[in-house]
Chain A
Amino acid sequence: MQTFGYVSGALTLAASWPGAAAVLKESDAALTDQATALTAWVRITPANEVTLLLSQAEIGQGIATTLPAILADELGADWSTINLLAAPFAPDYRNPRINFMFTGNSESIQSFHDLMRRVGAAAREMLVTAAARRWQVPASECTTENSVIVHRKSGRQLTFGAVARQAAQLQVPRQPKLKANSELRLAGRSLDRIDVPAKVDGSAVFGIDFALPGMLNAAVRTAPAIGGDLRSMNEAAAMSTPGVVKVVRIPNGAAVVADTYWNARRGLARLDPQFDAGPHSAVSSDSLAAEYLQRLSSGPFVTPIQAGNLDAALARATRVVTLDYANPFLAHATLEPMNCVADVTAAQCRIFAPTQGQELATYALSAALGLRPEQIDVRRSPYIGGGFGRRLVPDFVVQAALISRAVGRPVKTIWDREEDMRRDLYRPATMVRLRAGLDSSGHPVAMHARVVSPTIILPVAPNYAPMMERQGFDPNAMEGMMEWLYDIADRRVEFHLLKLPIPTSVLRGTGYGPNLFALESFIDELAALAGSDPYQYRRALLRGNPRALAVLDRAAALADWSGQSAKGVGRGIAIAHAYGTYIAQVVEAQVTNDIVKLTRVVSVVDCGRVLDPRIARQGIEGGVVFGIAGCKAAVTFAEGRVREENFHRYRLPDLAQTPELVTEFIEGGGPLGGIGEVSPVTVTPALANALYAASGRRLRSLPIGGHGLAFN
């Protein structure tokens, strides 16, 4: 049985295990009153229950297993009985790279791995020291295993719990000695995910499932048009609906608060809110495309990269090729829609939310409510139905808080899918113009790239605003365009930061995805112009990069790249270095009468070292499906509002459309790379390249539906 509640300032996350079944109860006095804290991350009860704090949000990526396993490994804790708590916002739980608490950018492992090792080693040293003192033996003769300290010579043992209190009195060692990798028991193993049992019996508590005593429920409707506002509503009709308690005016719309969510929905229907057309009713996908194209041609641009002498190199080139690529707006479409439980009084704000950004939410609430950050307590629900970056943005949290404050009661606000799609902050559409000067063999010797994109980073890092104003470019929108795998001496990269009324932000794979779609499609086109095999053409350009070559060669081998393919079947290849990881992919597609069937996707990934092979593979293969979604669905606009308001129009891939997935890892060493956002990046170009190989049709924009194609 999964439990969920306050436990010493944190929420229980995953307490139950198949077989082991260590259950954390809401009122577990042993934990709340008697647990000893060894650092901010480890708590141990006299009964030897070991609880680890989890700073990172479990949004499906498996971090709730992999990250605490790193700590437990160093600590020598019994992994099969470990308990986890979702950390509240506190400075201890910040990402040490940027000193901010958030989950995103595929960097949880990259940024926390060393810290988790150090914390585990420090807590282990404290426990060992306390035990060694009791035994009056040198600490160096003691080791830990399965939450027990062992004195090897005498065979004596003490549980962690037996000495935790004394250990906590000791100074936390600043430079604890880490275990040798050969001593690690969990690293490199495929562990059973801690969250799976609760996700097969309905007991996992997501944000939408959380409840507080006396809590009301809110349904909201804001203007369908971007920037629109409420014109009229029938408040009396809403209030006469059974169960309805209050109608609350909120920015751009209204909320109906009732005893149950369904009654709130009924009330909202009777409220019948009417909205104006908003200030952007002239904005449509066509008008946007024209604006992008104009900016792509005329700028103005900033030039973040200027290397060698592009103009001279282009003048020397045998041939110059210029092509444009367009990426669509995409929606996060997390399967769990935005929702939030808020309990706001004049002096306090308590939040329980499926969020990736507890710290940013704290500051946004502080500004919106006029409370000091220490009056605000943002808790994360233990389970979260997808994130993809959407839940870094605190808009839905602030809205829920405003509704609770207006009612003076705890309120759970749930967006319906239409609200979720309309009020998304989309992965921006971008346009990329690439120009290459080719030598006589058809290889690029000079490249010129232009990117037109609205901001990606600003909603999740508002403090970047002055830097962006000063420099005129968004670093996230340039991911994948600043550093190329292909070594080209003479190059220029230009950027135009488009100001749009459409809210845009990070989405799994930004901005590598849009930029690599352009770059890896372009390289494919150059290979075709040179009459070269796209794999061999890339090989020639990657000669100086053994890790890139290794993933490329292995992907080609696994995909039987040079083997015969059936009529209408084509293979497309792409490679990237993104989020610190090398990935090469081969997509195999069959095109029959404009119907595209993906038959196989091969991914070969070098993230340095693989901490959990199965979870890493899940991340890569799930990312492939996410990448396919980016080739299938798109957000479009008409009259200043989004057209895809639910899944009947934002059509995600389903099981029948999912190809065979083949995934291999290469451990190239070096710094750890990310996993979560890596594979969607290469899917889009590899898929477009496969469609070219299969049908001769070159897609320079997505989704494939824009070219008269559809998935099976």
Chain B
Amino acid sequence: MADFSLNVNGRTVQVAAEPDAPLLWVLREQLQLTGTKFGCGIAACGACTVNVDGIAVRSCSIPVGAAGHRAITTVEGLSSDRTHPLQQAWIAEQVPQCGYCQSGMLMSANALLQAIPAPTDADIDAAMTNLCRCGTYTRVRKAIHLAARLMAGARQ
């Protein structure tokens, strides 16, 4: 057991954990950030996706000890009031169904838009490898395009 200082959603938090504990379970069980979901444990489904320094990372498969002081963002960190352009776009397109994959979808999309502000369909295909059993994929694509437009509008 060791003490870690993590930077989560813009705040510095202290946790006590085994260094090899997956970031996912530290977020869920010690920080009560339960928006990040457990799906497969092998980085195959993407339900646990968070952003680490702006990069989409599958938190089930990185140990908390590797997080260091890098900036971790979870779905709860997108905004405090559902005003993030991705959340607005997700609501406008009514993307979620069961919703279990959606936190991971949003965080993959967030990393995508930070890297590529106006992604093409091919960019979306390549970046959005999260699994959705309800089949919300076509709305995910539309919502990412909409969020990109919202963000571009906000920059002008």
- Please determine whether A260 and B137 come into contact, CB atoms closer than 8 angstroms: no
Q: Give the contacting residue for A621; candidates B21, B40, B102, B135; CB below 8 A.
A: B135
Q: Is residue A196 within 8 Å, beta carbon to beta carbon, of the partner chain?
A: yes
Q: Give the contacting residue for B137; candidates A333, A334, A625; CB below 8 A.
A: A625
Q: Evaluate whether A417 and B41 lie within 8 angstroms (CB atoms) in the complex, with A193-B94, A196-B94, A197-B91 already known.
A: yes
- When C-beta atoms are compared, the residue in chain B nearest to A627 turns out to be B135
Give residues of chain B (91-105) contacting chain A, Cβ–Cβ below 8 Å. 91, 94-103
B109 shortest CB reach to chain A, Å: 11
- Please determine whether B75 and A202 come into contact, CB atoms closer than 8 angstroms: yes
Q: Is residue A671 within 8 Å, beta carbon to beta carbon, of the partner chain?
A: no
Q: Evaluate whether A646 and B96 lie within 8 angstroms (CB atoms) in the complex, with A624-B135, A654-B131 already known.
A: no
- When C-beta atoms are compared, the residue in chain B nearest to A262 turns out to be B25
Q: Is residue A658 within 8 Å, beta carbon to beta carbon, of the partner chain?
A: yes
A629 to B135 alpha-carbon distance, docked (Å):
10
Interface centre among B39, B42, B74 (most CB of A within 10 A): B39
Q: From A138-146, A220-228, A382-390, give the one contacting chain B.
A: A382-390
- When C-beta atoms are compared, the residue in chain B nearest to A339 turns out to be B38
What residues of A have a CB within 8 angstroms of the CB of B75 in the complex? 200-202
B30 shortest CB reach to chain A, Å: 8
Interface centre among A648, A654, A660 (most CB of B within 10 A): A654
Q: How does the 8 Å CB contact mask read for A161-203 relative to B, with 1 for contact and 0 for none?
A: 0000000000000000000000000000000110111111111
Q: Evaluate whether A334 and B22 lie within 8 angstroms (CB atoms) in the complex, with A647-B44, A654-B128 already known.
A: no
- Please determine whether A335 and B133 come into contact, CB atoms closer than 8 angstroms: yes
B78 shortest CB reach to chain A, Å: 7
Q: Is residue A204 within 8 Å, beta carbon to beta carbon, of the partner chain?
A: yes
What residues of A have a CB within 8 angstroms of the CB of B97 in the complex? 60-62, 618, 622
Q: Is residue B136 within 8 Å, beta carbon to beta carbon, of the partner chain?
A: yes
Give residues of chain A (326-370) contacting chain B, Cβ–Cβ below 8 Å. 333-337
Q: Is residue A498 within 8 Å, beta carbon to beta carbon, of the partner chain?
A: no
Chain A interface size, under 10 / 10 to 19 / 20 to 34 / 35 or more: 35 or more
A208 to B94 alpha-carbon distance, docked (Å):
23
- Please determine whether B40 and A647 come into contact, CB atoms closer than 8 angstroms: yes
What residues of A have a CB within 8 angstroms of the CB of B42 in the complex? 417, 646-648
- When C-beta atoms are compared, the residue in chain A nearest to B104 turns out to be A335
What residues of B have a CB within 8 angstroms of the CB of A242 in the complex? 1, 18
- When C-beta atoms are compared, the residue in chain A nearest to B20 turns out to be A266
How many cross-chain pairs have Cβ atoms below 8 Å apart between A and B? 179
A653 to B136 alpha-carbon distance, docked (Å):
11
Q: Is the interface of A mostly helix, strand, loop or mixed?
A: loop
- Please determine whether A60 and B134 come into contact, CB atoms closer than 8 angstroms: yes
A654 to B106 alpha-carbon distance, docked (Å):
15
Q: Give the contacting residue for B134; candidates A202, A206, A337, A386; CB below 8 A.
A: A386
Q: Is residue A414 within 8 Å, beta carbon to beta carbon, of the partner chain?
A: yes
B67 shortest CB reach to chain A, Å: 15
Q: Is residue B125 within 8 Å, beta carbon to beta carbon, of the partner chain?
A: yes
- When C-beta atoms are compared, the residue in chain B nearest to A661 turns out to be B138
Q: Is residue A209 within 8 Å, beta carbon to beta carbon, of the partner chain?
A: yes
A198 to B74 alpha-carbon distance, docked (Å):
15
A660 to B121 alpha-carbon distance, docked (Å):
12
- When C-beta atoms are compared, the residue in chain B nearest to A416 turns out to be B41
A413 to B74 alpha-carbon distance, docked (Å):
24
Give residues of chain B (1-21) contacting chain A, Cβ–Cβ below 8 Å. 1, 18, 21
- Please determine whether A59 and B96 come into contact, CB atoms closer than 8 angstroms: no
A261 to B47 alpha-carbon distance, docked (Å):
17
A304 to B9 alpha-carbon distance, docked (Å):
62
Q: Is residue A454 within 8 Å, beta carbon to beta carbon, of the partner chain?
A: no
Q: Evaluate whether A335 and B135 lie within 8 angstroms (CB atoms) in the complex, with A193-B94, A417-B41, A654-B129 already known.
A: no
Q: Is residue A112 within 8 Å, beta carbon to beta carbon, of the partner chain?
A: no
- Please determine whether A335 and B94 come into contact, CB atoms closer than 8 angstroms: no
- Please determine whether B90 and A200 come into contact, CB atoms closer than 8 angstroms: yes
Q: Give the contacting residue for A200; candidates B41, B87, B100, B138; CB below 8 A.
A: B87
Interface on A for B, CB 8 Å cutoff?
18, 58-62, 192-193, 195-206, 208-209, 217, 242, 260-262, 265-266, 333-337, 383-388, 414, 416-417, 614, 618, 621-626, 629, 646-648, 652-656, 658, 660-661
**9 further contact pairs, Cβ within 8 A, besides A62-B97, A335-B47, A624-B135:** A200-B102, A203-B76, A260-B25, A261-B28, A335-B101, A385-B100, A621-B135, A621-B138, A648-B44
Interface on B for A, CB 8 Å cutoff?
1, 18, 21-22, 25-26, 28-30, 33-42, 44-45, 47, 74-76, 78-79, 82, 86-87, 90-91, 94-103, 106, 124-126, 128-141
Of all A-B residue pairs in the complex, the 6 with the closest CB atoms, nearest first, are: A202-B35, A625-B135, A385-B100, A60-B98, A199-B99, A60-B97
Q: Name 30 interchain pairs, CB-CB below 8 A, sorted by A.
A: A59-B98, A197-B82, A199-B102, A200-B86, A201-B35, A201-B78, A201-B79, A203-B35, A205-B34, A206-B100, A208-B34, A208-B38, A260-B30, A262-B25, A265-B25, A333-B133, A334-B133, A335-B100, A336-B98, A337-B39, A385-B37, A385-B98, A621-B138, A622-B97, A647-B40, A648-B42, A653-B135, A655-B124, A655-B132, A658-B138
